[in-house]
Amino acid sequence: SNRGGAVVIFRLLDVSQSVTGHFTDSGEDEVEVSCTLEKNQFILYKGDRGRGVPLKVRHAEHSPLYIRTQFNLIQLYLYSTVSQQQLSRAQGFLLFLSQRPAFCPIKHLSATDAAAIPLDIQQRGVDVGVAILLQTANQRVLLTRRAKELRIFPNVWVPPGGHVELDETLLGAGLRELHEETGLKLEPEQVSPTVLGLWESVFPPMLSRGLPQRHHVVVYMLLHSSLTHLQLQPSLRPSPAEVSACLWAESRLVRAIVSAVDGEDASVQLDDLPSSISVSQVSADRALTESSMPLAVFTSRAPAGGPDVERVSTGTKFALELWLRSLDVPDL
């Protein structure tokens, strides 16, 4: 949901700057970072090797950035190292993988492109969002198709999620967005939250579709439910203003989705999947109607040019790949 008072992590003083590149000198699209959200400050810093969470982002200055938004003073701290005292204050300290797509518009902006971005868009800054991968007891995850009327990524399949508002925790924001978008109301004590990774998201997703209009860092959070998808399905009442369809995806379908890497043309791993997938279409009164969609929709890639197509978003593929890895890790 797009609501006032959202947490913003920094203003783009130079639109060619990005978050991931702050932590790498070689222009890589993936780096391990630590993050925490406290007192409306979203803090990223380089963590110990081997204990990180993925982040895909791009270069920022090598010092903290301070901005004043129309709501509050928000600070983004980008640290190479942190003290033990800082760690003791950081609630929810974790190391995560952060990532961006190879075709990230911020990565490829020329100086001329950057200068052409309207000032109000530059000053909007980078918003902090959270997306929820809800895993059922029978190892399915909930995906939703964004309503075609939405301005950002319309008709694209994503997990439920949205902006982190002021004074919210990441989990609190994720549960609120899950409820607003799908009707599923879960309490914090009902789920076991884990941050999978961070994704730098830019819209439009490619320069061929226009200059950047919105810029986010999305925190992908995995929640484990003790219920199966069949037990959760009756409680689904998605908001038609935000969601036009939903799907409980099982691991075979997810493997096919993530094998369709955007920007590449390698073959897709179909694993004997049927040619059509059952989804729930959302009506104006929030009722659900079962229908079939071609498997090809879910294995579509982001086109290099022209209008976008119905597909699973690139950031969602990143999160789903991390989810598949989590299934292979034995419980301790």
Q: What would the pLDDT profile of 106-157 be if each residue is shown by its tens digit?
A: 666 667 777 777 777 666 666 778 999 999 999 999 999 999 999 888 999 9
Is the per-residue pLDDT at 63 higher than 50? no
Q: Is the preceding peptide bond at 307 cis, omega within 30 degrees of 0? A: no
Average pLDDT on 156-161 reads 96
Q: What length is written for the chain? A: 332
d(CA 224, CA 70): 36
* Sign of the four-CA dihedral 37, 38, 39, 43: negative
Q: Between 46 and 196, name the one with better pLDDT.
A: 196
pLDDT at position 38: 67
Task: Indicate whether 301 pLDDT > 60.
Answer: yes
Q: Is the residue at 226 inside a domain?
A: yes
pLDDT of residue 109: 66
CATH number for the domain that contains residue 290: 3.90.79.10
Task: Label residue 163 by pLDDT band (50, 70, 90).
Answer: confident
Q: Residue 273: what pLDDT?
A: 95
**Residue 203 within a domain:** yes
Q: How many domains, the chain?
A: 1
2 located within any domain? no
Which amino acid does the sequence have at 219? V
In terms of residue numbers, what domain contains 129? 8-327
pLDDT at 93: 37
| Rounded average pLDDT over 161-183 | 91
Check whether 103 has a pLDDT greater than 60.
no
- Least Cα distance to 182 among 261, 288, 266 occurs for 288
